[in-house]
Amino acid sequence: MTQFWGVDADPTAQGRIKGARPVAVLDIGSNSVRLVVYERHARALTPLYNEKAACALGRGMAQTGRLADANMAKALEAMKRFALVARMMRVGKVYILATSAVRDAANRNEFVSAVEAIMDARVRVLSGEEEAHYAALGVVAGIPGFCGVVGDLGGGSLELSDIANGLDTNGESFELGVIRLQDDADSSPKKAASLVRSRLENSILGKAEPGSRFAAIGGTWRSLAKLHQAVREYPLHMVQDYVVPANEMIAFCEEIVSADALKGYPGSGNVSNSRRELVPFGAAVLAEILRAGRFDSVVFSALGVREGYLFGMLDERERGIDPLIQGAEELSILRSRSPAHANDLVEFTAQYFAAIGAEETPEAARLRVVACLLADIGWRSHPDYRGPQSVDSVAYGSLTGIDHPGRSFLAQALAVRYDGLKSKAAQVLVPLGSEDLTARARLIGSMMRVAYPMTAAMPGVLPRTRFSVDGETLVLNLPADFAFLDGDHLRNRLRQFAEVAAHPSWRVDVG
C-alpha cells in the first residue's frame, strides 16, 4: 500500500529558507475567503500557498443586515480545508482578518465563533479605519517610497488613505464595495457611477494634491488591470506595480461600464466567473475616484491588507529593509552556486564605475546589486535555456519592491550574462524600459560575462582584480598568480564588453 506523507513528518525541502517557519493570513472578505501561507514572516514575503473560495458573504447585506446562512456555510466549509492546510504546512501562526461584511453583520458573533472553533485562532474584525490602514501598509510593503492616495475596493466597502513618507493618514471607509454597489444600483453600473460620486463627495479625494498617484488594491481592480493589459497587448502579465495614466484608465473604465457584463470582451476569459459581473462596478468606482482626485496615474498593487498586516507587525529595523534586495539574496542562497561569489560580483561591478569616474544613482546601484545577486540562478538549466529560464525567473517571479522597467532591466542583464549581446531572450520586455536602462543592462550583463570565466562562480578571485584607465584603454588588472587567465576566452569576453563600455573610444585590455 502506498504511504502518503503525514502531518507529523517534516515537510521542509532543501529549496526553502533554512529554519523558516511559515506564517499565514486568512482573509475573510465580502466576496471571497482566502488563505495565504508565506514562507516566513519577513520584509519580503514569499507565498508558499494561496487558495480562495468565492463565498459572497456580502451578498444581500444591504437589504437584510445579516450574513446569509448558505454563504456562511460555504465559507465555513472552505475553512475546514484551510485549517487542514495550515496544519499540514506546519504554519507557526495563522492571523484571521475579517472585513466589511462581517463587521457590519447583525449575526457576526455567531459566524466569528464558528470560524474560531474551526481554525483554533482568534478572529480580528477590522474597523473601516483599520482596514484602510493595513491596505495602505500593503502598498508601502510592495512599493517602497509610494506617496499618494491608496484605495482598497472589496465586496462590501471601499477604504481610502493618504500616504506620505511611508506613513498613512486620514483613513476612511465607504459603503461602496462592488457587491453592495451592485445591490444598491439595481445591477446597473451606470447608476452605480452616480452613487459613487454622491458618496465620495466629502472624501479625502477632494484634498488630494493634483497630479499625484492613486494606488488601487482589490481583486476586482486586479481583474480590471488584467483586462487593460490584454487590450494593450502589454508584454508583462503582472498586476503588481502596473502603472496607467489616469486619463487613459478613465476612458477604459467608461468603456467597461458600458459593456454588457464583459460578454465577448477581449481578455475577459482571464477574469474568473465570480468576478466578471462585478468588474463594471469596479470600473465605475475607479473612474470616479480618478476624476475626483485629479490624479496623474494609477498604479495597481497585488499586495493589500494581508501583507500590510504582517508588515505592520515588523519592528522599525525590519521595515527599513529593502524587500527587493532581501528577496534577491534569498534566491541567491537557494539557487546560485555560491552566494559569496554574488557579493564579489557586486563589488567587481561597483569598482568598474569607480575606475571610470561614473556616478550611479541610488536606483541604478540598487538594480545592479540585484542583478549580481541573481546572476547565477540559472546554472542548473540546460546551457541552451539558461538565458530564457533566468529571464522568466526574474521577469515573472514573485519579487516585490520592483517596478516593470526594473524587471525589464534585470531580464535584459541576465539574458546578456548567459547568451551574449545578441540574445533575444528578453526582447519582448525591452519596451518597458528606456534606452538608457537597456544600455545599462547590457553593460552589466557584459561585465558578468567577463567575471564568470575567471572565477567559475567561486568567491575570492574577483576581489584580487581591478579595473583602471590608461589613456583611452580600460585595463583589467590581474595579479601575477592569475596571469594564466589571460587567454583567448577572456579577451573575447573583454572585446564584447568594449562594445558597450561607457566611453565609445575606449579599448579594453588585460594588464
327-337 pLDDT, tens per residue?
Answer: 999 999 999 99
73, part of any domain: yes
Same domain (yes/no): 304, 157: yes
| CATH code, 29 | 3.30.420.40
Query: Residue 505 pLDDT more than 70?
Result: no
Instruction: Give the pLDDT band (50/70/90) at residue 4.
Output: very low
12, part of any domain: no
Same domain (yes/no): 83, 216: no
Mean pLDDT (whole number) for 122-131: 94
- pLDDT score, position 292: 95
490, part of any domain: no
Query: Residue 1 pLDDT more than 70?
Result: no
Same domain (yes/no): 150, 205: yes
- pLDDT score, position 21: 92
Query: Residue 511 pLDDT more than 80?
Result: no
| Residue-number span of the structural domain to which 172 is assigned | 129-309
Q: Residue 315: exposed, middle, or buried by beta-carbon count in 10 A (0-12, 13-18, 19+)? A: exposed
Any idea what DSSP says for residue 122? -
Of 146-150, 154-158, 344-348, 438-442, give the lowest mean pLDDT range.
154-158
Nearest to 342 by CA among 365, 374, 364, 366: 374
HEC secondary structure over 387-408:
HHHHHHHHHCCCCCCCCHHHHH
Q: What is the DSSP string of 224-254?
A: HHHHHHHHHT-S----TTEEEEHHHHHHHHH
477, part of any domain: no
Same domain (yes/no): 297, 152: yes
247-298 pLDDT, tens per residue?
Answer: 999 999 999 998 766 777 777 777 777 778 899 999 999 999 999 999 999 9
Mark which of 84, 109, 125 sits at the end of a domain: 125
Mark which of 125, 145, 167 sits at the end of a domain: 125
Structural domains in the chain (count): 3
Highest mean pLDDT among 180-184, 417-421, 506-510: 417-421
H helical segments located in 259-377: 273-276, 279-293, 305-313, 316-319, 323-335, 339-356, 362-373
Highest mean pLDDT among 60-64, 275-279, 455-459: 455-459
% the chain with pLDDT above 90: 75
Query: Residue 339 pLDDT more than 60?
Result: yes
Mean pLDDT (whole number) for 18-36: 92
Cβ atoms of 369 and 346 closer than 8 Å: yes
481, part of any domain: no
**Average model confidence (pLDDT) for the chain?**
91
Same domain (yes/no): 171, 116: no
